[in-house]
Amino acid sequence: VCSSDLDEWRDGPGFLSFRDGTPSCPEWADGRMMYDDKHLYIAAHVGDPEPLRSVIDPAIDPGDGWRGGSVQVRLSTDRTMGWPADGNTANYYSQRQSEPNAGQKAAARNPRLAHLTLWYHAASRTPCLTINHGMQFVDFVLNPSGFRGAFTRDADGKGYVLEYAIPWGLLNCADDPPRAGDRLAAVWQVNWSDAAGRMRR
C-alpha cells in the first residue's frame, strides 16, 4: 500500500523542486531514496494537475512509458565511478563531432549504470517499471520479477505519491550493493502528462 503523505520517509534525505522554480507552481516533485542490503527504495510526491492518466500501454509501447507522465531516475551503483558518473551516450559524441576512445566506450557499457522509468498505466491500473543498463540503453526489461510499485492519487486530484522497491539484483549489484560512505551518482527527471494521458508540451 502506498502512503499518501510519505510520513515514514520524512527523516530521510530528499529534495523538493518546482518546474518553473517558484513555490506557487502546480508542477513539482518531492523525491526520496533509501536502501538496505536487498533493495533500492524510491518515493516521490509529485504535484500534477492531470495525475495518473497515462495511456502508454506497457504491452504495446514499453519503451515509451515516460511519455504519459512518469518519474525517471538514472543512477550508478558502481562506487568506482564517483560523481559525476563517467559515461556518455552515443549522442554526446555525435553532437560534438568526436569519437569516444576505448575507455569511454567501456564506461558507456557499464552494467551498473541504470536508467529507470516509473509510471502508472491508467487503463490497467498497473504500476510499471522499465530498466535500461549502461549509457547505450541495452538489456531493456519491462516489469521485471521482484520489484514492487504503488501509486496513490492525492485527495484533491492535483498530484500523486509513488513508492517503489527494486531489488539490487535488477541493478546488477546483488553481490556488492551500495553501502554507507559510497559516493554514487543519481539524477531525477519528472515528466508531466496532459488530460489525454500523454506528455505535456
Q: Please enumerate in sequence order all residues whose Cβ is within 8 A of that of 144, keeping only pairs 6 or more positions apart, or say none.
A: 129, 131, 170
pLDDT, position 193: 87
pLDDT, position 59: 94
Closest CA to 81 of 59, 103, 66, 96: 103
Contact 91, 141 (CB under 8 A): no
Strand ranges in the chain using DSSP code E only, listed in sequence order:
14-18, 28-35, 39-47, 70-76, 113-121, 126-133, 138-142, 148-153, 159-167, 186-191
User: What sections of the chain are H helices per DSSP?
Assistant: 90-95, 102-108
pLDDT, position 201: 56
DSSP 183: -
pLDDT along the chain (201 residues), means of 10: 69 88 94 95 95 95 94 95 86 92 90 96 96 86 96 95 96 95 94 86 56
Contact 126, 81 (CB under 8 A): no
Residue with cell 524510491: 42
CA dist., res. 40 & res. 168, Å (int) = 7
pLDDT, position 171: 97
pLDDT, position 196: 84
pLDDT, position 12: 76
CA dist., res. 62 & res. 80, Å (int) = 31
pLDDT, position 83: 87
For the chain, how big is the Rg over CA atoms in Å?
17
